[in-house]
A and B are shown apart, each in its own frame.
Chain A
Amino acid sequence: MDAKIKTQSLNLFYGDFHALGDITFDIPAHAITAIIGPSGCGKSTLLRVFNRMNDLIPICRVEGEVFLNGEPVNRADTDVVALRQKVGMVFQKPNVFPMSIYDNIVMGPRHQGVKNKGKLMEIVERSLRQVAMWDEVKDMLKKPGQSIATGQQQRLCIARALAVEPEVLLMDESCSALDPESTMKIEELMVELAQKHTIITVTHNMEQAARVSDMSAFMMIDEHHVGRLHEYSKTDEMFLNPRDKLTEDYITGRFG
């Protein structure tokens, strides 16, 4: 498999605090990679390296290299706006903007210069079809996005991210606020989207990681509270015979 994203000796600091230590791994294209591990081990922080979301935190400093399609992500001269158009993100809680369903979806394309109403409508339909929501909401596109159910809101957020046609989709515990039925729908969606997209998901839910992901990255803090990539392998291998006792203890639910 081709590496979509590569990290090389990635280290991340919040001020003096060393949060991520020496992370080097390759994330394959058109596959789902799950980042798992106990709370506070830096899973979300690592995810936010890939779309430079950590830039919002002034004291955060990232060292080492990250590549997307071989292009450097973590340089001072990286075009962060262009990067984020290629690397979309879905958050833990649905963050639908307080405006209509339609306006939510066209937010990204509109700022990329798509002005034609017909073209925008095409994008809205395509994105909503991708998340299997078109039939549910096609007659209420002008309704406030926040008026639909939470599970639908999260799918709307996925549709909004897909409207920009990203290559990579980052999902930061995107099912943790949802009921089992909505979670199942999103999991199905992830598997389908992975045919054309590269998905990286952070999850606390071991069953979910086992069900949907192709690759699993197990993170763990070391004795200095530095988050490290402890084991990285195919999901089947990791869940059937983990190389490491710690990994086994975690995925079988003995701690975390």
Chain B
Amino acid sequence: MRKFKENLSGRIFFILALSSISALALITVFIFIKGVPFIAEVGLFNFLFGSSWAPDHGEYGILPMIAGTFIVTFGAALIGIPIALCCAVFLAEIAPAWLRNLFRPAIQLLAGIPSVVYGFWGLVFIVPFIMNHFGGPGVGILAASIILGIMILPTVISISEVSILALPRQYKEGALALGLTHWQTIRSVILPSAKSGIVAAVILGIGRAVGETMAVIMIVGNAPAMPRSILDPVRTLTTNIGLEMNYASGLHEKALFATGIVLFIIIMILNASAQYFTRKRSF
């Protein structure tokens, strides 16, 4: 009887664990089934490199969205990553315990704020600020980059902090014992030693920025056109799907699934390279 219970509970856990993987499999299969025929029909080149998105006129080029995603993400990385890395070094190496205990939960809270709230906050504060000080419509690349730069902070901070804290204490002691100052120790020994973890953190942060939808929809302007300045409104791959999915049908709907495939592949590449760098860690 006991053996039977053991076996049964083992199986139940296995099935439940399987269900999470099968969800991934189902989603993958579903978007590919819906999207691949569309790409076959329109042509991969026309789809990826077409510069006009006008479903009413049968034009399905997502180049502006690909560009929008890359530019907004790049901007977010430019703003968020330096702040995040300094913050991680500060928390792991410099901050006294009481300050660390104040900072850590605050950063976790940052991760817990719903993205719609970020978007709303951006719309009420960032967008008017940009409009008044830099001109343009306010919504656009700059606004989205700022908000996404903030949204990726918790991911990048916590993963790089953990990879710094995971270093053997002996590295730091060894460096200090050679007569290096604390800052020299951080720069020349600690950061290079934690490099692979920090790179993984940056990649996962970028993945988070690429995948974010709700906050971006509210502040990016959503114009499916090539931007000419950082104040221009753009549309990203995620917002393209988010904006049009509820009324799209037929070929239009399939085009959105195909957009999903592109997004899916970008995220997969990012996650795989993050995995690669995490495994490369030599200790």
Which residues from chain A sit less than 8 Å from chain B, CB to CB? 51, 53, 56, 81-85, 88-89, 91, 93, 95, 97-99, 107-108, 110-112, 144, 146, 157, 160-161, 164
Q: List, in ascending order, chain A residues with CB within 8 A of B177's CB.
A: 51, 53, 84, 88-89, 91, 161
Contact of B178 among A56, A82, A84, A144 (CB under 8 A): A84
B179 at the interface (CB under 8 A from A): yes
Question: With A88-B177, A146-B282 known to touch, is A107 a contact of B170 (CB < 8 Å)?
Answer: no
Name B188's contact: one of A56, A83, A111, A112 (CB within 8 Å).
Answer: A111
B184 at the interface (CB under 8 A from A): yes
What's the nearest-Cβ distance from chain A to residue B200, in Å? 16
Q: Does B181 contact A (CB under 8 A)?
A: yes
Smallest CB gap from A86: residue in B: B179
Residues of B within 8 A of A81 (CB): 179-181
B93 to chain A, nearest CB (A): 12
* Chain B positions within 8 Å of A51 at CB level: 177
By secondary structure, the B interface counts as helix
- From known contacts A97-B189, A97-B193, infer whether A85 and B179 are also in contact, taking CB-CB under 8 Å: yes
B179 to A56, Cβ gap below 8 A?
no
Does A108 lie within 8 Å of B168, measured CB to CB? no
Q: Which residue of A lies closest to B181 (CB)?
A: A81
List B contacts of A111 (CB < 8 A). 178-181, 184, 188
Question: Do B188 and A53 touch (CB < 8 A)?
Answer: no
With contact pairs A97-B189, A146-B282 given, residues A91 and B179 touching in the complex (Cβ less than 8 Å): no
* A144 engages B184 (CB within 8 Å): no
B192 within 8 A of A: yes
Q: Which of A83, A107, A161, A164 contacts B189 (CB 8 A)?
A: A107
Cβ contact within 8 Å between A157 and B180: no
Note all chain A residues with C-beta closer than 8 A to B170: 91, 93, 95
B171 within 8 A of A: yes
Residues of A within 8 A of B193 (CB): 97-99
A97/B175 contact (C-beta < 8 A), A91-B170, A107-B188, A107-B189 known: yes
* Interface membership of B244, Cβ < 8 A: no
Q: Are B173 and A53 in contact (CB under 8 A)?
A: yes
Could you tell me the distance in whole angstroms from the C-beta of A95 to the nearest C-beta in chain B?
4
Smallest Cβ-Cβ distance to B185: which chain A residue: A111
Question: Nearest-CB distance from A54 to chain B (Å)?
Answer: 11
What string of 1s and 0s marks CB contacts (under 8 Å) between B118-144 and chain A? 000000000000000000000000000
